[in-house]
Amino acid sequence: MRPDAPKISLTDVVFPDRANHYGTLFGGHALHLMGKAAFIAATRHARQHVVMASTDRITFDEPVRVGDLIHEDALSGHRRLAVRGTFEMVAVDANGRPTPISVSQDHNEVQEEAVT
């Protein structure tokens, strides 16, 4: 992780409207949530309007079930790591075009927390 990568912690719950028909979080929704986390972290870091420029490899390690809480941060712990990836966000000018100043959001992670 780059030392200056901004950090953010999002928490959410997987209700059925984000699930596939196997009862687990649809991968596309997981990507959407990670993209939102990257957007918020980069906005706070740059204090400029930002857009997504690229993502590096994102891996899905564990299925996240309906009813689970998900947690996105960089802390290790007893939670299982479900998804991780790196997002590059770039600041944009008034015309929505990228500007040279960019910020990399390393190691966005979705952690899965079962409620038993």
Give the separation between CA 7 and CA 71, rounded to whole angstroms: 13
What is the x/- site pattern for its own copies, positions 76-95, by CB under 8 A? ---------x------x---
Contact 74, 107 (CB under 8 A): yes
Give the separation between CA 72 and CA 9, rounded to whole angstroms: 5
Give the number of residues in contact with its own copies, rule: CB under 8 A: 57
* Among the residue ranges 31-39, 74-82, 103-111, the one whose residues contact its own copies (CB under 8 A): 31-39
- Restricted to residues 33-72, the positions that interact with its own copies (CB under 8 A) are 33-36, 38-40, 43-44, 47-49, 51-60, 63, 66-67, 69
Give the separation between CA 27 and CA 62, rounded to whole angstroms: 11
CB of 42 to its own copies, least distance (A): 11
Q: Give the contacts of 65 (CB within 8 A, at least 6 positions apart).
A: 14, 23, 24, 25, 112, 114
CB of 102 to its own copies, least distance (A): 12
Write out the H or E segment, with its range, that includes residue 30.
helix 27-46
Which stretches of the chain bind its own copies, using CB under 8 A? Answer: 8-24, 26-36, 38-40, 43-44, 47-49, 51-60, 63, 66-67, 69, 85, 92, 96-97, 113, 115-116
